[in-house]
Structure 1
Amino acid sequence: MQANVVVVGSLNMDLVTRAERLPRPGETVFGQSFGTVHGGKGANQAVAASRLGAQVAMIGCVGSDAYGVQLREGLEAENIDCQAVRTVTQGVSGVALIVVDTNSQNTIVVVPGTNGCLASQDIMAFDGMLQETKVIICQLEVPMETVGHTLKRGRELDKIVILNPAPASGPLPVQWYASVDYLIPNESEAGALTGVTVDSLDSAELAARSLLALGAGKIIVTLGAQGALLVSAQRVMHFAAPKVEAVDATAAGDTFVGAFSAALAAGKGEDDAIRFAQIAAALSVTCAGAQPSIPRLQDVKDFALS
C-alpha cells in the first residue's frame, strides 16, 4: 500500500473514567464507569484519516507490553500501514488518564512512555514513505527534535505539511513555521503559542495573524461549537460548526485534523476539506471515547445529505 497520508506521532492506551464532575485539586470523586480505549493524538489522527478515505501509514513507537500489542493490532485493523511502528524492547507504552464529566468536558494526563523514544533516525529509516505520500501530519506528543526533523523534511519534499500543536505549553521553535502549510491549534493551543487569550473570533484572528507573521502558511483555529477560523495572507474565513448533541469531546480535534488531511489527499479544495472535517469532528463528539467515536466516510456523507 502506498500511503497518501503519513502520520508521525503518538500511540497511547487511554484509561477513561466518567464522573458527574471533574475533581478539584486534592479532591476525590466517585466515577461512574471505566474503560480502556485506543488513543494517542497521532494514532487518533491516523484512524480518522483512514476511516475517512485516506491510505494511511503511521510512524511511531510502542512498548513490548500488552498495550503495545493491542495498539498495533488496533491500527492494523483500521488498514493502517504499521511497518514504521517500532516496538521498544522492555519499553512501556504511552498511556493517557482521562476523566470526562456530564457536560462532556475532560481533563487528560498523558504519560508518554515509548512515545518519547521516537527519534529522527526512525523518520530517516522510512524516508521513502515520506517521499511517496501527499500529506504529512505531526503533533507534539513525541520528542520536539523528531517533530522538527519531520517538518523540515516534509518541506524539502514539497509535501502538504500539517502541524497540530498539541499539547502546547508555550511558543514553538521559530524555525518550524516556515515548514508548515497548515497549523491547526484549538483555542487554548493558539493562546499558548501566542500569549493571546482566545475567547472570540476576533481574538482567534489576532492569534492566527501573529502565527502567520512567524512564517506559517495558513492557520486553522478550531473553536469547538463556534466552528473553525481559517486565516491566511489572502483571506479570513469563518466556518460554522454543525449542530449536534455533545457526549464526549475527547477526540474531536484529532478527528478534524485526520479528516482535513484525508480530504486534501483526495484532492478536495481547502474550503470543502474544512467543511468535511467539521462534520467529522461534530459526529465524533456524539459518541464516547477517542478512536471509537471517530466516524466513517459514509457517516459523514449521510450527515451532509441530512
Structure 2
Amino acid sequence: MNKATIVGSINLDTNLRVHRMVKPGETIHGKEHYTAAGGKGANQAVAAARAGSQTRFIGAVGKDTAGKQMLDLLKEEKIDTSGVEIIENEGTGQAFITIDDNGENSIMFYAGANYAFGPEEVVKNSDLIKTSDFVIAQLETPIEATTKAFEIARQADVKTILNPAPGESDLPKELLQVTDIIVPNETEAETITGVHVKDEDSAKKAAAKLHELGIEVVIITFGAKGAFYDYNGHSELVPASKEKAVDTTAAGDTFIGTMSSLLKKDFSNLKEAILYSNKASSLTIQRFGAQPSIPYKNEII
C-alpha cells in the first residue's frame, strides 16, 4: 500500500447544470443545482484513498459550516486530516461550476482559507511528508507552501507529483527543480512551455522543455484521447476508454490520485499505472459532481 500526502485545496463546490454555456451578458435557465465536496487537492486525496493508498492531507479550511462539512467528508474516506489547519476569520474555499450537456465545465474559484496557510504550516507537518511514498500538489494553494513541501520530500527521498493547475506561465525554478513528475493537461503544458500541444509530436517537444527544467517524468493528459508520457527516453500516448462524458469535473484529479496508489517509486510500472488511472477517469466522467464521481478500487478493477 502506497502512502500519499496531498498538499492542496479543499472546496465546497456549487454546481449548475445547463443545456449550453452562457454568453457574456446573457441569462439562461439552469436545469439542476447541487453542492458537493471538491477542491483539486481534496479530490486527489479522495481518489488516492479510494484506490487503496494510505492518504494524508495538508491544507486549510475556514472556521465555518462548510469547513466542518469538508473535514468530516475527508475523515469518512479514512484520510488523515491532522495536517489541515482551521483558519479563523477566513471562509472555506469555494468553486462555482457550470456543466453543459456535452459534459464540458466552466469553473470559478474562490480560494479563501486555501491561501491562508503557507510554508510554516507545511514545516509543522514534515513528518507526514517524510513518511510518504508520494507527495502531490496543485496550484490552488500558495506556491511557497508547495515548494517547501517538495523540498522536504526531496531531502527524504519521497517522490513528488505536481499538477500545474490552474495553469501558470511563470512557475518558479525552485519548485520545478524538486518536482519528479509533472502532470499538466494540453493547455497547461502549453502555458508552461510555450509549445502548442495538439498531438504526440508537439507533446514530445513540450516534454523536452519540461525535462530541461529538471523534471524526470512528464505526463500530459489529453482528455478523451488518453495520456501521453515521456520518461527515460521512451514516450507513448496511452489511450483512454471510450465513454460518453456527462461531467468532466475531477477527471484529471482522479487520474493523479489513482496513479499515486499504484505507481512504484522507481517508476518501473509507469505505463501500467497510467492505464489504471485512465480507467478510473473514464468512470468519473460518467457521473456528476467532483468527489461523488470518483470511483473505488473494486470499480476500477
Which TM-score band applies after superposition, normalised by the shorter structure? over 0.9
- Corresponding residue number in structure 1 for 2:57: 58
CA distance in 2, matches of 1:230, 1:55: 25
- Corresponding residue number in structure 1 for 2:292: 292
Deviation at 1:265, TM superposition (A): 6.0
Task: Show the 5 A alignment for 1:47-196.
Answer: 47-196=46-195
Conserved in 2, the CA contact under 8 Å of 1:54 and 1:265? no
CA distance in 1, matches of 2:24, 2:231: 40
- Corresponding residue number in structure 2 for 1:239: 238
CA distance in 2, matches of 1:41, 1:122: 19
**SS class of match (2:147):** helix
Matched, 1:253 2:248: no
Which amino acid in the other structure matches residue 94 of structure 1? G
CA distance in 1, matches of 2:160, 2:168: 21
Deviation at 1:129, TM superposition (A): 1.1
Conserved in 1, the CA contact under 8 Å of 2:133 and 2:265? no
Deviation at 1:206, TM superposition (A): 1.4
CA distance in 2, matches of 1:36, 1:45: 18
Matched, 1:228 2:227: yes
Percentage identity across paired residues of the two chains: 38
How far does the alpha carbon of each residue in 1:145-180 deviate from its partner, in whole angstroms, 9 at most, with x for none?
111111121111111110000111313112322211
CA distance in 1, matches of 2:277, 2:98: 25
Conserved in 1, the CA contact under 8 Å of 2:159 and 2:265? no
Q: Judging changes above 3 Å, is the alpha-carbon distance between structure 1 residues 62 and 3 closer, same or farther for their aligned structure 2 residues?
A: farther
Where does the alignment leave 5 or more consecutive residues of structure 2 unmatched? none
Which amino acid in the other structure matches residue 295 of structure 1? P
4+ residue segments displaced more than 4 Å: 265-268
Which amino acid in the other structure matches residue 56 of structure 2? A
Deviation at 1:3, TM superposition (A): 7.6
How far does the alpha carbon of each residue in 1:175-208 deviate from its partner, in whole angstroms, 9 at most, with x for none?
3222111100001110111112222222222111
Which amino acid in the other structure matches residue 290 of structure 2? A
Which amino acid in the other structure matches residue 251 of structure 2? A
Conserved in 1, the CA contact under 8 Å of 2:2 and 2:261? no
CA distance in 2, matches of 1:12, 1:289: 12
CA distance in 2, matches of 1:288, 1:199: 27
CA distance in 2, matches of 1:107, 1:94: 17
How far does the alpha carbon of each residue in 1:210-259 deviate from its partner, in whole angstroms, 9 at most, with x for none?
11111111100000111111012421122011111211100000000000
Matched, 1:279 2:288: no
CA distance in 2, matches of 1:134, 1:76: 21
Which amino acid in the other structure matches residue 17 of structure 2? R
- Corresponding residue number in structure 1 for 2:19: 20
Which amino acid in the other structure matches residue 294 of structure 1? I
Conserved in 1, the CA contact under 8 Å of 2:211 and 2:218? yes
- Corresponding residue number in structure 1 for 2:212: 213
CA distance in 1, matches of 2:122, 2:175: 17
CA RMSD of aligned residues (A): 1.5
How far does the alpha carbon of each residue in 1:68-120 deviate from its partner, in whole angstroms, 9 at most, with x for none?
01000010011100111111112100000100000001110000000001211
- Corresponding residue number in structure 2 for 1:6: 5
How far does the alpha carbon of each residue in 1:1-39 deviate from its partner, in whole angstroms, 9 at most, with x for none?
x98100000000000000011112222221111111100
CA distance in 1, matches of 2:151, 2:57: 18
Where does the alignment leave 5 or more consecutive residues of structure 1 unmatched? 302-306
How far does the alpha carbon of each residue in 1:261-300 deviate from its partner, in whole angstroms, 9 at most, with x for none?
1112699821111111111011110101100000000000
- Corresponding residue number in structure 2 for 1:38: 37
- Corresponding residue number in structure 2 for 1:304: none
Per the normalisation by structure 1, the TM-score is 0.95
CA distance in 1, matches of 2:112, 2:80: 22
